[in-house]
Chains A and B, each alone.
Chain A
Amino acid sequence: MTVKHAGLRLIDEKGLRHDGRRPDELRPVAMRVGVLSNADGSALFEIGKTKVLAAVYGPREPPQRHTMLPDRAVLRVRYHMAPFSTMDRKSPAPSRREIELSKVIREALEPVVIAELYPRTAIDVFVEVLQADGGTRTAGVTAASLALADAGIPMKGLVAGVAVGKVDGVIVLDVDELEDSAGEADLPIAAAPDIGLITLFQLNGVLSRQELEEAVEMGLSAIRRLVDMEKETLRSSVTVMPGE
């Protein structure tokens, strides 16, 4: 969807964005864990109007035995958008985009999940986009990271993601849908800052070498803040000590 909004200015004379944010400013963020009773772990992540719910089940036996691995758990990830999450109703049947993003999100989580501890099992991660306003795949990674930790799945570190973009020639953090559709580039990035790994990296659009470096730096610094918030959210979610 590359609708060019003719004459629309995304950066004003003060250098502020269409919603009043500075280029390096995130939209308001909210995180909650343990929001579902059935799932082993769950989280709701909101960034601006983007709302994403993630649930984790397992380690459990996958329904098809042949999908098991002898030396580790398999991760199964589904990214899916609710029909009412977009301006025009989205058909609930999985699109090619959702199939790709499911893979991209899984590969953003694989590097941190310590799957070797649970051979011959499956860890299922379900990401449901309840409302889409840009950055849903990276919001999905952030929600999934919280849900995995909430489920008690061993991880090397928490992950978070954010979409960096270029609008009106300026590198901006956390692009929303308007900036994504009208902007020149969109760079979704996710990382586990504790272990210094970028786990999701895509670029749709054109950036110079220098712009790319600036975008990655901007993204990583926001991801560090998001992971700190994840830790704070997890810390405040626990009220009872384990009776081990």
Chain B
Amino acid sequence: MSTTPYKLPIVPMIKKQSYLSLYRKGARIDGRDLETPRNVRIETGVIEKAEGSAIARLGNTQVIAGVKIDVGSPFRDTPDQGVLTVHAEFVPLASPLFEPGPPDENAVELARVVDRSLREVGAVDLSSLAIRPGEKVWMLWVDLYILDHDGNLFDASMLAAMAALLDARLPEYEELESGEIMVDKSRKGEPLKIDHRVVTVTIAKVDEYLIVDPTLDEETIADAKIVVAVDEEKRIVGAQKTGGSGMTREEILKAVDIAGKASEVYFKALNEAISKG
């Protein structure tokens, strides 16, 4: 069951007025223009025990992604493909609003949007993850851990997930005579076969303004958001409107155009982190 958010913002309107008067001039409270994301910092290999990991910082927002790789059985309908699972945890240290407990609808939505953005375009070549097709495949777990919430968890999570997947190495393994697969996680082998790099660009609608990479304050006053997944060729590889208001056709098309441009900033940070890592 999904309920209208009842944790009501208490001083949003006052802030909204001052934010709107800045938007009118094409400016924002942190000095950005409307279409530029915050400072992006990505670091890979931050968790040695994970097969791949990265921390992405978008302004004050911090998300860690860890990739764990195990051997498992494939799904019956895709016997020769590995399994990719994305999971998000909103741990309570990240925000005074997060409570301990199983993932709520926001955490599930976040994980599923990231999952689809990777899956639909075939970012990870899942057929390269078959060890013995039909029997044994690699299972990839991408765990997103929100550490500090200052808005736009989608873009930060997607950057962390993508960087962690690019950082990941399959563990070495041996096939025993019994057919069992013995995995040695202390020995890191081949990188994953990543066919496409994908980022998401989140655009918030506040009155008639469309703003890229909203902070938590901006998300609070926003009517709705649209998350647009973009690959390096600027193809649209996924999208999701989120938030309890509608957007016009023109707004959605404009948002898609803005996303293409803003994605360059994310790809630059991502590619730099990967070449450094």
- Interface residues of chain A, those whose CB is within 8 Å of chain B, are 36-39, 42, 49, 51, 53-55, 57, 60, 63, 78, 80, 82-89, 92-94, 124, 126, 128, 130-133
Contact = CB atoms under 8 A, between A and B. Distances in A.
A133 B53 CA distance: 17
Interface of B: 47-50, 53, 60, 62, 64, 66-68, 70, 87, 89, 91-96, 99-100, 102, 141, 143, 145, 147-150, 185
Given A78-B92, A83-B66, A84-B53, 5 more contacts: A36-B94, A38-B96, A63-B99, A80-B100, A85-B66
Contact of A49 (B49, B147, B148): B49
A130 B60 CA distance: 19
B96 A126 contact: no
17 contacts: A38-B94, A38-B96, A38-B149, A39-B93, A54-B93, A55-B92, A55-B93, A57-B96, A60-B96, A78-B100, A80-B91, A84-B141, A85-B49, A86-B49, A92-B89, A92-B143, A132-B49
Given A36-B148, A38-B148, A57-B96, A131 B89 contact: no
B49 A128 contact: no
A82 B60 CA distance: 21
Contact of B141 (A55, A57, A83): A83
A42 B93 contact: yes
8 residue pairs, one from A and one from B, having the closest CB atoms: A84-B66, A55-B93, A126-B93, A89-B68, A84-B50, A83-B143, A37-B60, A36-B148
Contacts of A36: 62, 93-94, 147-148
Nearest to A124: B92
Contacts of B96: 38, 57, 60
Which of A36, A42, A86 is the most central at the interface, judged by chain B CB atoms within 10 Å of its CB? Answer: A36
A37 B150 contact: yes
Contacts of B47: 51, 82, 84-85, 130-131
